[in-house]
Amino acid sequence: EVQLLESGGDLVQPGGSLRLSCAGSGFMFSSSDMGWVRQAPGKGLEWVSGVSAGGGAKYYADSVKGRFTISRDNSKNTLYLQINGLRADDTAVYYCVKTSRDSYGYMQSWGQGTLVTVSS
Amino acid sequence: IQMTQSPSSLSASVGERVTITCRASQDISYSLAWYQQKPGQAPNLLIFGASNLQTGVPSRFSGTASGTDFTLTISSLHPEDFATYYCLQAHSFPLTFGGGTKVEIK
């Protein structure tokens, strides 16, 4: 069974930084494209970032480009999202997703999410 | 690419046929997915490639495409189908979701 376990969410002041982690199990992590999707409280879904299985290709939403960095450590079966320059509108539940080989948009498995709150 | 989803909400009864539409601002071929999200839960992939049912998803769910218009149909609404539905274009980066459709009990 595919399991994705996010961690690292916290209450952070504007301008601060955070690193989210996602531990994957039950599948071949090193062969899987992965990504992050977020959802602000009471709002819709927003795709944030995606990374190829080997880590060489990375993609970002315009709203986070230059502030967020996606990475992975296949030896640890772990996906990361480094978030810098946090703003109030980054407040959201951040979901880790395992995507299909066919497309980053076909998100087959989701974690339970980790909450990031940006507030002074 | 902008995804315009309609309606934003609807009320329906168990057993009713429900249709939700997404319109893409440009050609995305068949690169579209539909997701279901229940309150307090992570979303769940229902359909990919505009019309392909994800493994384990009931056959009452179906998807169609016509140009830049995409439709999710629930043929006969079950109690567990009351949820919010989102489309997502997977044609080009950045990937973009529709605004969501909340399906409520009438």
Q: Do A107 and B89 count as a contact with CB atoms less than 8 A apart?
A: no
Testing the interface with B: which of A3, A94, A103, A114 to mutate, by most B Cβ within 10 A? A103
Q: Do B43 and A106 count as a contact with CB atoms less than 8 A apart?
A: no
Contact of B73 with chain A, judged by CB distance below 8 Å, is answered with no
Per-residue pLDDT of chain B in tens (106 residues, 90 and over written 9): 999 999 999 999 999 999 999 999 999 999 999 999 999 999 999 999 999 999 999 999 999 999 999 999 999 999 999 999 999 999 999 999 999 999 998 8
Closest residue in B to A105 (Cα–Cα): B90
Query: Is B56 in contact with B41 (CB distance < 8 Å)?
Result: no
Distances (CA, A) of A87 to A51, A92, B45, B76: 23, 11, 29, 43
Mean pLDDT over each residue of chain A, to the nearest integer: 97
* Biggest distance spanned by C-alpha atoms of chain A: 42
Of A61, A95, A106, the CB nearest to B42: A95
pLDDT tens string A54-107: 999 999 999 999 999 999 999 999 999 999 999 999 999 999 999 998 898 999
Testing the interface with A: which of B6, B35, B37, B45 to mutate, by most A Cβ within 10 A? B45
Residue A29's pLDDT is: 98
Residue A102's pLDDT is: 87
Band (A45; pLDDT cuts 50, 70, 90):
very high
Residue B53: CB atoms within 10 Å: 17
- C-alpha B78/C-alpha B57 separation (Å) is 13
Q: Do B95 and A100 count as a contact with CB atoms less than 8 A apart?
A: no
Residue B11's pLDDT is: 97
Contact of B95 with chain A, judged by CB distance below 8 Å, is answered with yes
Average pLDDT over residues A7-31: 98
CB-count exposure of residue A44 (10 Å: 0-12, 13-18, 19+): middle
Q: Do B33 and A112 count as a contact with CB atoms less than 8 A apart?
A: no
Percent of chain A topping pLDDT 90? 98
Three-point CA angle A88, A92, A32, nearest 5°? 130
Residue A67's pLDDT is: 98
- C-alpha B102/C-alpha B104 separation (Å) is 6
Contacts of A101 (CB under 8 A, 6+ apart): A33
